[in-house]
Amino acid sequence: AQTVTQSQPEMSVQEAETVTLSCTYDTSESDYYLFWYKQPPSRQMILVIRQEAYKQQNATENRFSVNFQKAAKSFSLKISDSQLGDAAMYFCALPSPEGETSGSRLTFGEGTQLTVNP
């Protein structure tokens, strides 16, 4: 079974500073995707960034980037120039492998609550 672990229940950062959220996972697949989702108080899960495992280059989306270490099965999210609107719960997620009956059901980590201080 696939697992995803986020070991930081809460993190805080000062506005304009940089913060890194950690995620480790376990899968027997050699090619897979990983996602970071953001969940603000509105409850809607919003995709932040995704990484394909066979790509060596770390994904980047504006102020958001990942540090993907395949051998270590680590997938951390770095938020640069943090803004008040970044405050939310962040989830790391791993989809089921292709061909399973549950499509690409996501296995989520426990989440990290990020607070941004003005």
Partner 1 sequence: GAGVSQSPSNKVTEKGKDVELRCDPISGHTALYWYRQSLGQGLEFLIYFQGNSAPDKSGLPSDRFSAERTGGSVSTLTIQRTQQEDSAVYLCASSGQGKVNQPQHFGDGTRLSIL
Binding region for partner 1 (CB under 8 A): 32-33, 35, 37, 42-47, 50, 52, 91, 95-98, 101-111
Is the CB of 17 or the CB of 29 nearer to partner 1? 29
In one letter, which amino acid is 49?
I
CB of 53 to partner 1, least distance (A): 10
Q: What is the token pair recorded at 61?
A: 């989306």
Closer to partner 1 by Cβ: residue 44 or 57? 44
- Shortest distance in whole angstroms from residue 4 CB to partner 1: 10
Q: DSSP letter for 84, please.
A: G
Cβ atoms of 48 and 91 within 8 Å: the answer is no
